[in-house]
Structure 1
Amino acid sequence: MFVAHGGGAGAGVAAGPGGLQINGLGGTSAPWTIVVLMTFLTLIPSLLLCVTPFARLLIVFHFLRQALGLQTTPSNQTLIGLSMIMTFFLMQPVGQTVYDTAVVPLQDGKITPLDALQRAGTPLRMFMSHYVREKDVNLFLELAKEPRPHKVEDLSFRVILPSYILSELKSGFQIGTVLFLPFLVVDMVVASITTSVGMMQLPPVVISTPLKLLLFLMVDGWHLLIGSLMRSFQ
């Protein structure tokens, strides 16, 4: 092997079986892989909100807690944990596809990190395209001044990401409002009865909250709510 040494702080140049190699610059993609992975870890919270059903689920659960008249039960940590578990259940097939098509080839050294990101984006775009509203897509296509694609699967992430999160917010508020109405009727009936019998010193919420909890438990509310939410993504 021939080694040429430069003077001073210059990098050495070595000629081996693979040709010339500049020492000190690295001959592997491991540093770039670490950079990509660390960047991805910092983006996980945002990705969780933007490309998954997490936002819709959490909004509905908060609406339920307010409708039942419970301020801190279940706690925020419980609702967030439940939303994450349901999100994992719904996104597992998409995550498996991303792992098979992007992560495994990247680990085997068959593709670059940029290629892996492009491959991982395809299953996510397909998932979001099923639940995005055309009205929201048209809005962001107009704002981005992009031509209308022939298929919704051809939308760029610049358009489909804000369109999807806006659609999820609307869906979450719609479900939460429908969920709120039966408990609102209970509140109105209890308030009307307590006022008519002259119980002005007793807040209606003291009576309505146990009644709403009994109603929710009698109809097996958690089972019905979770089942309806899961079916809304099928």
Structure 2
Amino acid sequence: MMKFDFGKILFWAAFLIGLTPIFAVSQTVQPLQNQQGGETANPVVLIIVIGALALAPFGLIMLTSFVKIAVVLSILRNALGTQQIPPNQVITGIALILTVFIMAPVVEKMRAEAGTIQDTEAIFSEVSVKTLFQA
């Protein structure tokens, strides 16, 4: 039968745990660079993108017919006498697909009337970014 020397095991465990901060301090992180040499992650753009992603479910629910379609499909499921089939995830998926199909002409009309942004126009001018940082 083999005996374990818990003193040695405890010493080596404490030694290895004590070395981990040394390896963590030695790591350096370089910012991501794009093709032109500028930084990829602009904080203002990241905040705007994250804000838009946070408001996307609100827009889906309030500005489209998603809720109406989901309610009709749920009522149809109950009318057929099935309580669990199809599951709620399937009903939500079907409602999402039907919403995209129904709203496609509206989106095309919006894009046609809004036009396109010219390459010479700046989306974020320096004045608007400075005003945003001062606010």
Query: What is the TM-score when the length of structure 1 is the normalising length?
Result: 0.31
In structure 1, the residue matched to 2:70 is: 58
- Counterpart residue type for residue 95 of structure 1: V
CA–CA separation in structure 1 for the residues paired with 2:95 and 2:79: 18
In the TM superposition, residue 34 of structure 1 has moved relative to its aligned partner by 3.0
Length, aligned pairs only: 83
Q: Counterpart in 2 of 1:88?
A: 100
The offset of 1:76, in angstroms, is 0.7
Residue 75 of structure 1 deviates from its aligned partner by 1.0
Match of 2:117, SS? helix
Identity between Structure 1 and Structure 2 (%): 30
Find the partner of 1:110 among 118, 121, 127. 121
Aligned residue number for residue 48 of structure 2: 36
Q: Which runs of 5+ in 1 are unaligned?
A: 1-29, 114-234
For 1:40, give the aligned amino acid: A
Pairing of 1:1-234 with structure 2 (within 5 A)? 31-99=43-111, 101=114, 104-105=116-117, 108=119, 110=121, 112=123
CA offset at residue 105 of structure 1?
A: 1.7
Take 2:100 and 2:50, find their aligned partners in 1: how far apart are those partners?
21
- Structure 1 residue 78: Cα displacement: 0.9
SS in 2 for 1:86: helix
Cα distance change of structure 1 residues 42 and 98 upon mapping to structure 2, 3 Å threshold: farther
Call closer, same or farther: CA 1:99–1:35 in 2, change over 3 Å.
farther
Deviations 1:146-196 (A, max 9, x none): xxxxxxxxxxxxxxxxxxxxxxxxxxxxxxxxxxxxxxxxxxxxxxxxxxx
1:36 partner letter: I
RCO (CA 8 Å, sep 6+): is it higher in 1 or 2?
A: 1
Q: Going by fraction, where is strand more abundant, 1 or 2?
A: 1
Letter in 1 for 2:67: A
SS in 2 for 1:77: helix
Structure 1 residue 52: deviation in Å? 0.1
Deviation at 1:96, TM superposition (A): 3.1
Cα deviation for residue 95 of structure 1 reads 2.5
Aligned-pair CA distance for 1:94: 2.5
Taking a change above 3 Å as real, the CA distance of residues 109 and 52 of structure 1, as seen in their structure-2 partners, is: farther
Cα separation, partners in 2 of 1:87 and 1:37, compared to 1, 3 Å: same
